[in-house]
Amino acid sequence: MSFAEIAPVAHHHPWPRRIVDAGYWRDIAGRLAAGEWGFLALWGDTGAVHLAFLEATTPATVSVATLPCPEGRFPSVAKALAVASRPERAIRDLFGLEPIGANDERHWLDHGRWPGGRPFAAPAPGDAEDAAGAAPGLPPYRFLDSTGPGLHQIPVGPVHAGIIEPGHFRFTCNGETIVRLEERLGYVHKGLDRLLAGSTIERAAKLAARISGDSTVAYSFAFALAVENALGVKAPPRAEWQRALMAELERLANHLGDIGAVCNDAAYAIMLAHCSSLREQVLRTAETAFGHRLMMDGIQPGGVAVELKKEGAAAVRGLIKVVRAQFPELVELYDNTASLADRTVATGRLDPALAAAFSAGGFVGRASGRSFDARRDLPYAPYDRLHFEVPVMTEGDVNARVWIRIKEVEQSLDLIEQILAGMPTGATTADLLGHIMSTCEGLAVVEGFRGDILASVRISADGTIERAYLRDPSWAQWPLLEAAIEGNIVADFPLCNKSFNCSYSGHDL
């Protein structure tokens, strides 16, 4: 029997979830490693692991395979597929499930400091030392070895010099050249999965909106869709269009801010000054239109929280005019400044083969030849009715990542105009409560500015969240930054790092 012939579980929407045995599990891992299918997410549950992937059909379809783990172990996917390594380490830390055959057995999110030990698993006898020994329980983290004459290490973080999130970077260098970068993350782990479990849909939506502040709209969007898919509810058309408007404003704000910030990391401050003013104008417009600069909590399961008024729409129109007038000049400035190109071209190159192997989403993937955008490839309303292009380049350097974002700014401006022109009238919220019957599950994939965010929810018969997992695109992008930086000089790290702009909070959960 092939995987597709296994009967899917009931009440999982809109894509199928199938319960598999270890044989199928290994087979799927093999197909993912062979590049036949694309990796989406790997996450834990009480006594089971789930693997979501993209089947290369046209149009693409998503599948979830679930492997029950009654003995507390599962065959490692990471053994064949590197992108699965950190998710597996996280599963072990949170659920106590052991990936068998994994080649990296170090803890990931667990730094040995949680007072209660593992959040989802009662400590098994074998774990005793682990759980009881929390702070200072775990042995010191063992960074990977780099040996050779003339090598030295530079440890950086978790507290960084700038205003950014915390994480640790361990550079091994030969002179100025980086031989190896190893990241250590998990510092901002807030226990999201545990907080989500058992909470009401309303509270869970608030938590989802605070997984990664720069993508609050995209996270709320993904969570809302997953809940609606589970319950078989559709948000009213006007709400769908308003959601897309918020999502594009968020993309615009982040792209504008980051284009300036990348240039600033190449010591070209004038771009930062101009881009950050444009970003500020986007945020002010968002406040006028949706009552919050980051549009936090603007999207809720069932619809949207704020009604877009006439003045709001007018403010957005005004904003588009301003950006259309000013942005092209900045692009020209970026493109015609040799000293800037000297820093961005050929720096931090991510090999397209690696981007494909890691199923890297967002501008990181698209700057290295991976043409995937959930808005186009797994279309959700209203993107199925909108026209846009998905820019792709193959150079994979800092410059290509900046260019993808420049082109996406242009696409977002177009999209916003289409959305304003086509915005239907009518209600902006749908009832959810009447649809809560028995345990049901929903999945959604939404394209945030950073890449595709996957949301999976299981809602119990009493209407509370039994299990919710939201996967940030950074899971695949962080390890690729380690690869892209190799052979670059230390001074180019901030530039490369900013050009990836991975999320710490979204990854650490």
Give the binding site for ligand SF4 (CB under 6 A): 210, 213
Contacts of 350 (CB under 8 A, 6+ apart): 360, 364, 367, 368, 396, 397, 480, 483, 484
Which ranges in 171-301 belong to alpha helices (H)? Answer: 192-196, 201-208, 216-231, 237-265, 269-290
Among 116, 126, 155, 318, binds another protein (CB under 8 A): 116
Among 152, 190, 309, 317, binds another protein (CB under 8 A): 190
Nearer to another protein by C-beta: 18 or 405?
405
What's the token pair of residue 14? 């809109």
Place of tokens 């999502």: 247
- From the list 8-16, 203-211, 365-373, 469-477, the region that binds another protein by CB under 8 A is 203-211
Write out the binding residues for another protein, residues 328-367 only, by CB under 8 A: 329-330, 333, 336-337
Place of tokens 């410059």: 399
Nearest alpha carbon to residue 308 among 485, 433, 147, 428: 428
Strand 98-100 to strand 151-156: parallel, antiparallel, or no bridges (unpaired)? unpaired
- From the list 113-121, 175-183, 309-317, 409-417, the region that binds another protein by CB under 8 A is 113-121
Nearer to another protein by C-beta: 87 or 119?
119
Q: What is the CA radius of gyration of the chain?
A: 22
Q: Does 285 bind another protein (CB under 8 A)?
A: no
Nearest alpha carbon to residue 25 among 58, 63, 62, 57: 63
> What minimum distance in Å lies between the beta carbon of 446 and ligand SF4?
19
What's the token pair of residue 198? 């058992």
Partner whose footprint covers residue 114, from another protein, ligand SF4, none (CB < 5 to 8 Å by kind):
another protein
Among 44, 87, 119, 451, binds another protein (CB under 8 A): 119
Among 16, 72, 123, 213, binds another protein (CB under 8 A): 213
Among 210, 234, 385, 435, binds another protein (CB under 8 A): 210
Q: Does 309 bind another protein (CB under 8 A)?
A: no
Q: Does 325 bind another protein (CB under 8 A)?
A: no
Q: Where are the beta strands (DSSP E) in 289-432?
A: 299-300, 303-304
- From the list 54-62, 154-162, 392-400, 478-486, the region that binds another protein by CB under 8 A is 154-162
Partner whose footprint covers residue 165, from another protein, ligand SF4, none (CB < 5 to 8 Å by kind):
another protein
CB 201 within 8 A of CB 301: yes
Question: How far is residue 289's CA from residue 308's CA, in Å, rounded to a whole number?
Answer: 6
Nearest alpha carbon to residue 449 among 477, 419, 473: 473
Strand partners, 171: 154, 181
Contact residues toward another protein (CB under 8 A) are 111, 113-116, 119, 135, 158-159, 161-166, 186-191, 194-195, 203, 206-207, 210-214, 216, 257, 270, 273-274, 276-277, 279-280, 283, 293-294, 296, 329-330, 333, 336-337, 503-505
